[in-house]
Amino acid sequence: MVGVGIEIEKLCVGYDKNRVLHDIDLEINSSEFVALLGSSGCGKTTLLKSLSGFIKPMSGQIRVNGSDVAQLPPEQRNMAMVFQSYALWPHMTVRQNVGYGLKLRGMSKEQINCKVDELLVLLGLADFGDRKVPNLSGGQRQRVALGRALAVDSPILLLDEPLSNLDARIRLSMRHEIRSLQQRMGLTAVHVTHDREEAMVMADRIVILNAGHIAQVGTPLEVYEQPKSNFVATFMGAENEIALNVERANGTLSISEQEAVKAASLSVSNEIGDGGVNWQATAAGSVRGRFRSSAAHLLADGTVPEGHLALAGRVTQLSYPGGVFRYEIESAGQLYMIDDPCRYAVGDAVTICVPAGGLHLYSEAA
Amino acid sequence: MVQATLSSNWVRMTTRVLTMSLLAFAIFGPITNMLLWAVAEVWYFPYKLPLEYGFSFWERVFRPEGNATEALFSSIWIALLTVVVSLAIAIPAGYALARGKMPFRYLIMLLFLLPQAFPAVAVHMNVARIFYGLDLTGTVMGVVLVHASQGLVFAVWIATAAFAAVDGELEAAARNMGAGRWRTFIDVTLPLALPGIMASAIFVFLISMDEFTGTYFVGAPDVVTLPMLLFTSSMEGNYQIASISSLILLVPSVGFMLFIERFLKADVLAKVGS
């Protein structure tokens, strides 16, 4: 079974007068794993429900293999879905749950048994075939739900936060299991999640949604290293914010000295990984900078290496989440979270040091 | 101090025992009386207990040519038909009320309560008049319709609760697997709502078995059910026949209690009437 491509064009979805999705354009390639990422209420689940047919869009097209399915009922779309609640039928056994789609397709008992056995072995459920759903653990239910979706050989797999109800440890192994199954079978997968890390490790491409609009589409590396907007940067973990004054000349930025910030000259990035600043602002002048707590480090004295943004501050709080210390630094009335392996005490004067490659710059208004 | 707690404990204990005994007497007193009458051969004033015990009246009730057996069977037949008629309306109505975004949903649910809202005698007298014009008086069908009109409010309310308790996502999963609306209803919704539907069926059956006024106005004298036999025999002072009929009527009620206790989940019960 080989996946098929999906093209979404100008899709608008809403309930009553309430618009949830605005003019969504998205192309999903055959056999691609796409994660829809966003905080709750951003419209990611609505987009998945529009794909699966449980919500009729107000306008726009959803083309599968070239033909528009936007107005078809769910049973005619041939997209297998794994629900967040698993939605397993409690009055049926594991075997009946997995085989239901096959029964609907008019397969014979032997064929169904054969296919179901194969899937149960694949998912490590061989001994549970005759159990009723209420007698299964969360992880087992999730496998049954996955088995039910895989059984019908649908080219498109829709995953609605399927891992959010699992224990942290099982969740980590299921990520890889689902990903490898999808790759082995060549399925086109659309995965809804609010978990950034989950999206990063599972997906080929990530679609970040914000208030019913697509904020950015890109590979995990792209959305992490070059967030196109202030929103995406924040969502991808660049929580520290700083107002800067910059001049731009050719490939370099010069940051002017202000309060705690030292003057510096930084190179602008041309491609990911070249160590330059991610410049997304429209014009020089006063811009908004963002950086991750893990991208920066602390210095005890003021000798800042070349190509770093430096700002003087004082430790106000510290914690130890594991591996490094997490410091809250106060600098010119602003608070920053910085990770650093070296030990400082509360009240120590330090310098926050942000390498050019860890800095993202946006226009003030955006 | 200790004395005071002790005595207050004692008072509390006594009131509790007294209340319990009164309650037990109120519940079991009439039943004991009924049980005694059911096995009494000879019992008259001023004796506190029957003078002779035996089962000759039971034999009389269950004698093939006895009218009690006939009344029992017509009661059961009418009750079964009432269940069929009620469910034929309650299942689609309950599903629609639970799933559809219907305008005036509460109004529709209250509508089914209307037959209960007015004095039974007044309602049934007029029903009898209308049915007379439709040639339904004195027929089993006429009695079934009267019983159904009374059972419907419970049947619809309970069925609505049963369907509302079925998680919509379970239906969505069936649709996603390729089942149409009808197939989804048959394979997923109905089996999951079945305990609630069964409860409403038993409830309607009980209501029909016990119904008197409507049967009296619409069915008498051609259709004789157990409650009507009970009424006539107690009017004639034939307490043995009346007690035995009551005992027979008790059986389905107890069965219903056991069913509710065993199969009906709290989430269904909580949704009744909402």
Q: What average pLDDT is seen over chain A?
A: 90
Q: What count of residues does chain B have?
A: 274
Give the best residue of A55, A83, A84, A158 to mutate against chain B (max B CB count within 10 A): A83
Cβ of residue A78 closer than 8 Å to a chain B Cβ: yes
Nearest Cα residue in chain A from B177:
A101
A residues 92-151 near B, CB within 8 Å? 100-101, 104-105, 148
What mean pLDDT comes out for the span A281-309?
A: 88
In order of B40, B41, B50, B230, B234, the CA distances from B44 in angstroms are: 10, 10, 7, 20, 15
Instruction: Check residue A218 and give its pLDDT.
Output: 95
Using the beta-carbon criterion (under 8 Å), do A91 and B180 form an inter-chain contact? no
Most distant CA pair in chain A, distance: 77
- Boundaries of every domain in chain B: 2-54, 66-269
Nearest Cα residue in chain A from B190:
A91
Higher pLDDT residue, A226 or B118? A226
Instruction: Check residue A271 and give its pLDDT.
Output: 84
Q: Please say whether the beta carbons of B203 and B252 come within 8 A.
A: no
Instruction: Check residue B2 and give its pLDDT.
Output: 58
Tokens of A41: 């209420």
Which chain B residues are closer than 8 Å to A87 by Cβ? 167, 169-170, 172-173
Beta pairing class for A67-68 and A79-82: unpaired
pLDDT at A37 over 90: yes
Q: Where residue B273 falls among pLDDT bands split at 50, 70, 90?
A: low
Query: Treating both helix axes as pointing N-terminal to C-terminal, what angle do B67-99 and B226-235 enclose, rounded to 10 degrees?
Result: 130
Q: Please say whether the beta carbons of A139 and A124 come within 8 A.
A: no
Instruction: Check residue A188 and give its pLDDT.
Output: 93
For residue B115, say if its preceding peptide bond is cis, omega within 30 degrees of 0. no
Question: What's the CA gap between A51 and A188, in Å, rounded?
Answer: 13
Q: What are the backbone angles phi and psi of residue A208, rounded to the nearest 5°?
A: -100, 125
Question: What's the CA gap between A23 and A57, in Å, rounded?
Answer: 11
Cβ of residue A347 closer than 8 Å to a chain B Cβ: no
Using the beta-carbon criterion (under 8 Å), do A152 and B178 form an inter-chain contact? yes
What mean pLDDT comes out for the span A124-139?
A: 88
Nearest Cα residue in chain A from B173:
A87
End-to-end CA distance of chain B: 51
Question: What's the CA gap between B136 and B151, in Å, rounded?
Answer: 19
Angle, CA B208 vertex, CA B203 and CA B212 arms, to 5°: 135
- Proportion of chain B above pLDDT 70, given as a percent: 93
Closest by CA to A125, choosing from A162, A171, A94, is A94
Chain B contacts to A (CB-CB under 8 A): 167, 169-170, 172-180, 183, 187-188, 191-192
| A332-335, long-range: CB < 8 A, 24+ apart | A332/A259, A332/A260, A332/A261, A334/A241, A334/A242
Residue with tokens 């794993």: A33
Find the CB nearest B179 among A53, A85, A104.
A104
Q: Please say whether the beta carbons of A262 and A272 come within 8 A.
A: no
What mean pLDDT comes out for the span A318-344?
A: 92
Residue A194: CB atoms within 10 A of its CB come to 17
B11-66 pLDDT per residue, tens: 898 999 999 889 988 888 888 888 888 888 888 778 788 888 888 878 777 776 66
The domains of chain A, with CATH numbers, are 6-226 (3.40.50.300), 237-363 (2.40.50.140)
pLDDT at B268 over 80: no
Type of residue numbered B228: M
**Which class does domain B66-269 fall in?**
mainly alpha
Q: Please say whether the beta carbons of A21 and A50 come within 8 A.
A: yes
Using the beta-carbon criterion (under 8 Å), do B167 and A148 form an inter-chain contact? no
Instruction: Check residue A276 and give its pLDDT.
Output: 85
Beta pairing class for A360-363 and A308-322: unpaired
DSSP B215: I
A50-92 pLDDT per residue, tens: 999 999 999 899 999 888 998 899 999 989 999 999 999 999 9
Q: Which parts of B134-189 fold into alpha helices (H)?
A: 140-164, 168-177, 181-184
Q: Where residue A355 falls among pLDDT bands split at 50, 70, 90?
A: very high
Find the CB nearest A101 among B167, B172, B177.
B177
Which chain B residues are closer than 8 Å to A142 by Cβ? none
Which chain A residues are closer than 8 Å to B99 by Cβ? none
Q: Which residues pair with B53 in a beta bridge?
A: B40
Residue with tokens 């308790």: B165
Question: What's the CA gap between A164 and B6, in Å, rounded?
Answer: 56
Instruction: Check residue A3 and give its pLDDT.
Output: 64
Residue with tokens 């829709």: A158
A178-236 pLDDT per residue, tens: 999 999 999 999 999 999 999 999 999 999 999 999 999 999 999 999 999 999 999 99
Closest by CA to A21, choosing from A31, A10, A33, A29, is A10
What mean pLDDT comes out for the span A250-256?
A: 85
Q: Which residues pair with A287 in a beta bridge?
A: A244, A363
Q: What average pLDDT is seen over chain B?
A: 84
| B31-34, long-range: CB < 8 A, 24+ apart | B34/B243, B34/B246, B34/B247
- Lowest mean pLDDT: which of A134-143, A152-161, B214-223? B214-223
Using the beta-carbon criterion (under 8 Å), do B192 and A89 form an inter-chain contact? yes
Closest by CA to A358, choosing from A289, A285, A277, is A277
Instruction: Check residue B237 and give its pLDDT.
Output: 75
